[in-house]
Structure 1
Amino acid sequence: MYPTEESDPFCLSAASATRLLTDAPWRRFASMGDSLAAGTGDPSPGYANLGWPDRLAGTLRRVRPDLAYLNAAKIGATTAKTLANQVGPVLEFGPDLIHISCGANDIWRPDPDLAEIGWNLRRIFERAAETGAQLTTFTLGSAFVVPGFPDWHDRVRALNDITRELAATHAAVLVDMWSHPVNSRPNLLSADRVHFSTSGQAVMASELVKGLVDVLRAHPVTSDRAPE
């Protein structure tokens, strides 16, 4: 029997997530990249039909009702397209919390250029970091394998290594989905056998909340909200 959102051991309840982020200072949240950053996934029985970015934005909005939210991510976006088409609008938005996830569509090519992928990702992270915003990112999970690419997991590992390096360089919150236990769930993937269904989206949102809590604990902030 599959878990529901209420029984999922990897999911935080809405109340718990909100309580954990009570002192969150972020007022402008933006996500950019590909379908992972967009929160693409099929509905799962027992889970709210929401991608992880909308879930996180909802939690932050319960803490900060004036939260502004922009999801500039596009299904199918490559690192080059993200750099060319999304970075500008995201920076113009003026975010103080930025999520970056892309590269999967680059390694889907017959002969991916890892040097080019790495250069594009470095520029994306550098430009985002120049804003002073808190950055967040994911590694790709191991649950799906692309038919026709016997070296698929090697490609994913290479991309994940780049992502981990950039996260460490820019003090980004890194949610490492590669070896997360949720990868073993039979109902994790959507019908396309690529994207995490909303059960996986719920887990990713919860893991990001936990990562942001770690940031708050390391760098406590004084809330400027009026007393309730």
Structure 2
Amino acid sequence: MIGFAMEINATYNSLVAVGDSFTEGMSDLRPDGSYGGWADVLASRLAARAPGFRYANLAVRGKLIGQIVEEQVALAAEMKADVVTLVGGLNDTLRPKVDMGRVKGLLTEAVERLTPSCGQLVLMRSPGRNGPVLDRFRPRMEELFAHIDELAGRHGALVVDLYGAPVLADPRLWDVDRLHLTADGHRRVAEAVWQTLGLAPEQDWQAPLPDAARVGWVTRRAADARFAKEHLGPWIGRRLTGRSSGDGRPPKRPELLPYEARSEA
């Protein structure tokens, strides 16, 4: 983690989360069918420490960094929150073609606009699941993460290094779509951000999972076939046609309003 905050007794009264599906909380399904996610877990935990705590989540699945800058950054800046989290750019790196110079420039613009408007900006090196689909994009991802580190050093942002945590590469912490974390994965991310903000650790978010039982070849191939049909194919189709799963979808929590701690957190 870069720029670790040392204020163990720090109190944060507001949080705004900016980004894409990772921050929206995809695959962390609640019983009512809505998505939770690490940002909701973090907000709940912060709310338990600060009466009147307020939370907004502007993230929308599928958004590229240009859309995040255009649709979310100005709104987040106007809210003047104690903490703003910004996670974006990874969707761009997963497109068939990408101008990394443009992506890094837009991310720089977002950081420069958000930094003076909030108490603390938090950036992330996003987690990467082990597997061949993401392996081909790793050079782009690592170029993006190097830029994030540079921006954090220049602007005093904190960086949560999820990419460097081996446990978050474990396939068991990823949903069947192989693109989004499970509920346990989201809880670990919330704990990582919590600790980066200088709050006393409540668990070891990097603790490895127990040894996995061996899965037979037939079972693995059946899972691969299901993944290709239900998730990989539609995902590639959207990338090739310029469509997004978030087209026309509003943010999950567009206003900075009081937020109560949830028992699930």
Question: TM-score category by the smaller chain?
Answer: 0.7 to 0.9
Aligned-partner SS, 2:164: coil
Identity of aligned residues (%): 27
Aligned AA (1:71): N
Aligned-partner SS, 2:16: strand
Please, which of 181, 186, 195 is the counterpart of residue 171 of structure 2? 186
Query: 1:6-46 CA distances to partner (integer Å, 9 max, x unpaired)?
Result: xxxxxxxxxxxxxx9873332121010111222323459xx
**Corresponding residue number in structure 2 for 1:153:** 138
Aligned AA (2:45): T
Query: 1:161-202 CA distances to partner (integer Å, 9 max, x unpaired)?
Result: 111111222222211111202134331111110111111111
Structure 2 Cα separation of the partners of residues 96 and 188 of structure 1: 30
Please, which of 59, 62, 66 is the counterpart of residue 73 of structure 1? 59
Conservation of the 8 A alpha-carbon contact between 2:12 and 2:82: yes
Task: Give the TM-score normalised by structure 2.
Answer: 0.66
Please, which of 33, 43, 53 is the counterpart of residue 19 of structure 2? 33
Structure 2 Cα separation of the partners of residues 41 and 171 of structure 1: 32
Conservation of the 8 A alpha-carbon contact between 1:99 and 1:136: yes
Q: After the TM superposition, which of the residue ranges 71-80 and 174-183 deviates more from structure 2?
A: 174-183
Aligned-partner SS, 1:58: helix
Aligned AA (1:86): Q
Aligned-partner SS, 2:194: helix
Structure 2 Cα separation of the partners of residues 178 and 151 of structure 1: 16
Aligned AA (1:36): F
Instruction: Pick closer, same or farther for the CA change 1:50–1:42 going to 2, 3 Å.
Output: closer
Aligned-partner SS, 2:110: helix
Q: What is the Cα deviation at residue 133 of structure 1?
A: 2.1
Question: RMSD of the TM alignment (CA)?
Answer: 2.4
Determine whether 1:54 maps to 2:45: no
Determine whether 1:212 maps to 2:163: no
Aligned-partner SS, 1:167: helix
Give the number of the structure whose alpha-carbon radius of gyration is greater.
Answer: 2
**Corresponding residue number in structure 2 for 1:113:** 99
Determine whether 1:173 maps to 2:161: no
Tell me how many residue pairs correspond in the alignment.
191
Conservation of the 8 A alpha-carbon contact between 1:27 and 1:68: yes
Structure 1 spans left out of the alignment, 5+ residues: 1-19, 216-228
Structure 2 Cα separation of the partners of residues 41 and 165 of structure 1: 31
